Amino acid sequence: MARLDDEDLFQSSTMTFGEHLEELRRCLIRAAAGFALAVMVGFFVARPFVHLIEQPLKRALATYYSHRAIETFDGWRPRVADGPPLPYSRDEVVDAVERHGMSFELREVHADRLARVLGTGGGEVADGAGGADFRTDDLVPLLLWQPMVKDPRVSITTLSAQEAFGLYVKAALLVGLVLAAPWIFYQLWTFVAAGLYPHEKRYVHVFLPVSTGLFLAGVFLAFFFVFDFVLDYLLQFNDWLGLDPDPRISEWMGFVLILPIAFGIGFQLPLVMLFLERIGVVDVATYASQWRLAVVVIFVVSAILTPADPYSMLFLAVPLCLLYLGGMAICRWLPAPDARGA
């Protein structure tokens, strides 16, 4: 149960309800102005940022097609029992793919025809000299190599002329949101502080840097850790269905926009818990007794905030469950002021 108190939350405030709305309007305007300035900065760094956010997807695609290449090598069999083998050993292929970042396509040719084309096996073939039938049993395997970075399957495409510009704007918005996050949180806590008791306003000065740090921690966790696992899972699911992915950069950008912001907002949970406990809305006993319900709510909210795959949901829900326990511990052990005027 929440703590009961005879004193109204806004009793000591001289602001009326209309003045609180006016304060909210001012805070929103200041937050929007700061965000606009940050977006202007974002336009100057959007291009390198786009190249930065491409890297997890390109790494995942390179890993996916590297494994596919080795599986293709292992699965190849000669057309006839005594047919010609592959021109490379498996160890050479694995070394080329994994250590040298090479990609290959497995093709088959008629060795005698290839020799004629290269000028090492005689003149041109006369019409009908090879017979009327195409000789599949005489085909010889050939591996065509290229660097993985030049493999068209690893490149990220756009399907319209205006898509690149939309991507550039989205990148600027994401950069602006991350840069403006401390200012936006400051405006949010400033508005909250307007309706608090004097001893409660001190928490705003503590919450602001911690809130910003938690937001950035969630963003960096999503970008530098979660993306790789989620992409590996999604590409493996493509492989399981027998489909080759052909990702578009705009779709990937939408994924990049949703996941880090969801993590950054979700990581505010301990501060929200502490704030509600300190102003008497919820107490520690309620947090402890309702932990099962809290876990269910966390998983439902994580499923809503993240894309439709189990890994991103779990990577958000599990840290939030741990943060919920951390929030209870902070509420229990962080000393609260004894008097309201303290």
Report the C-alpha gap between 325 and 80 in whole angstroms.
64
pLDDT of the residue at 163: 82
- Report percent pLDDT > 70 for the chain: 83
pLDDT in tens, 190-237: 777 766 666 666 666 777 788 888 888 888 888 888 888 888 888 888
Q: Kindly tell me if the per-residue pLDDT of 10 is higher than 60.
A: no
Q: Kindly tell me if the per-residue pLDDT of 126 is higher than 60.
A: no
Lowest-confidence segment of 126-130, 230-234, 313-317 by average pLDDT:
126-130
pLDDT of the residue at 44: 92
pLDDT of the residue at 1: 44
Phi, psi of 22 (to 5 degrees): -65, -40
Give the pLDDT mean for 263-271: 86
Residue with tokens 């790494």: 59
pLDDT of the residue at 37: 94
Q: Tell me the residue type at 65.
A: Y
pLDDT of the residue at 195: 64
pLDDT of the residue at 3: 46
Query: Percent helix, strand and coil across the chain, each rounded to 5?
Result: 65, 5, 25
For residue 235, the SS3 value is: helix
- Report percent pLDDT > 90 for the chain: 9
Q: Kindly tell me if the per-residue pLDDT of 2 is higher than 60.
A: no
Query: Is 284 in contact with 328 (CB distance < 8 Å)?
Result: yes
Report the C-alpha gap between 325 and 42 in whole angstroms.
36
Taking the alpha carbons of 241, 245, 250, 253 in that order, is the dihedral positive or negative? positive
Q: Kindly tell me if the per-residue pLDDT of 140 is higher than 70.
A: yes
Report the C-alpha gap between 264 and 219 in whole angstroms.
5
Q: CA–CA distance from 66 to each of 241, 275, 337 (Å)? A: 18, 50, 60
Contacts of 275 (CB under 8 A, 6+ apart): 192, 203, 207
Q: Kindly tell me if the per-residue pLDDT of 14 is higher than 60.
A: no
pLDDT in tens, 21-41: 887 888 889 999 999 999 999
Phi, psi of 87 (to 5 degrees): -75, -5
Q: Tell me the residue type at 174.
A: L
Query: Is 281 in contact with 2 (CB distance < 8 Å)?
Result: yes
Q: Where are the domains of the chain?
A: 17-62+158-333, 77-150
- Token representation of residue 130: 């090879």
Cα–Cα–Cα angle for 143, 56, 90, rounded to 5 degrees: 25
DSSP-H helix ranges across the chain: 17-75, 90-94, 111-117, 163-193, 198-221, 227-241, 249-266, 269-278, 284-289, 291-305, 310-333
pLDDT of the residue at 272: 85
Mean residue pLDDT of the chain comes to: 80
Report the C-alpha gap between 317 and 300 in whole angstroms.
9
55 band by pLDDT with thresholds 50, 70 and 90: confident
- Token representation of residue 339: 């008097």
pLDDT in tens, 269-288: 888 888 788 777 888 888 98
